[in-house]
Amino acid sequence: MSKKSIYSLVVILIVLGVYGYEHFLVEEEKTEIIEEGKTTKTGTNEYFLPTSTTGQIVHHEGYSLSYNEAHEQAEWVAYELKKSHLSKTNHKRPYFEIDKAVKTGAASWRNYKNSGFDRGHLCPAADRRYSKDAHDETFLTSNISPQEHQFNSGIWSTLEHKVRYWARKYDGVFVVTGGVLKGEMNTIGTEYVSVPNQFYKVLIDTNSGRTKMIAFLMPHRDSDKPLYEFVVSVDEVEDLTGIDFFPELEDVLEDKLEASSSFKGWSFK
């Protein structure tokens, strides 16, 4: 073998070695992030976390989620919104990033490009303005679902504002939200991200002296109807989604609260 051939072979081996080592580091980092995502974070109220129909729960600092790989989005995102979390601080809007803590691989933000749908936050960035890190992690792709713009900026936004009002009024609420990932749905992008036909939001308040719940189920279109017309029982949302929302509650209390579609005790002023 000539000296030139030996030199070329050495160069190739070095390049392959560097590439292999970098690939090893990337995979090792990914494994660490996934393992970190399995760990419940300080401040997470595990007591109110729903069941997962997929077995893939991820914990971030400001919210937890159950990822549904078949539909490339979370079946639910859950977080506590305390009065102390409410802030008017305006952080610079970051770019969306793929959530590396999702073991099966979260969908790319590119699926939404030119799709005609918004990257609709499930845990709103406005609910996590109390710190830049908490705000920025709401831009992970595991926290978004395809939403029509008029819905996202209309009735859904109205409900998000109302949740913040209740968090202030009742000194905190626990929120579970997502799209109903059942039935025939359109998809977007090369990863076939499902477009839910309905979205839900379920709240529980245990801070104002008497435990109460309220659930909303909204068709995926904008509406001029008042919010209370979308109130349903938690049982109805459970039947649609297959999710058990508050399994740790004492059974008698859980059954009573989840069967009711009354919004008594929730101010709609």
Nearest-CA neighbor of 103 among 65, 50, 130? Answer: 65
> What was the pLDDT predicted at 26?
45
For the chain, 269 residues long, give each residue's pLDDT as a single digit of tens. Answer: 566 566 666 666 665 565 554 544 445 555 778 888 778 766 777 889 999 999 999 999 999 999 999 999 999 999 999 999 999 899 999 999 999 999 999 999 999 999 999 999 999 999 999 999 999 999 999 999 999 999 999 999 999 999 999 999 999 999 999 999 999 999 999 999 999 999 999 999 998 888 999 999 999 999 999 999 999 999 999 999 999 999 999 999 999 999 999 998 998 87
CA torsion angle 101 103 104 108 (round to 10): 20
What is the chain written as a DSSP string? --HHHHHHHHHHHHHHHHHHHHHHHHHHHHHHHHHHHTSPPTT--GGG----SSS-EEE-SS-EEEEETTTTEEEEEEEEE-GGG-----PPPPPPB--TT-TT-PPPGGGGTTSS-EEEESS-GGGGTTSHHHHHGGGBGGGEEEE-HHHHTTHHHHHHHHHHHHHHHTT-EEEEEEE---SS-EEETTTTEEE-SEEEEEEEE-SSSS-EEEEEEEESS---S-GGGGEE-HHHHHHHH---S-TTS-HHHHHHHHH----TTS---
Structure tokens at 203: 């709240």
Number of neighbours of residue 112 by Cβ within 10 angstroms: 22
The residue extents of the domains of the chain are: 1-37, 40-259
Phi, psi of 128 (to 5 degrees): -130, 40
Q: Which CATH superfamily is domain 40-259 in?
A: Extracellular Endonuclease, subunit A (3.40.570.10)
> What was the pLDDT predicted at 109?
96
> What was the pLDDT predicted at 22?
53
Give pTM, 2 decimals: 0.88
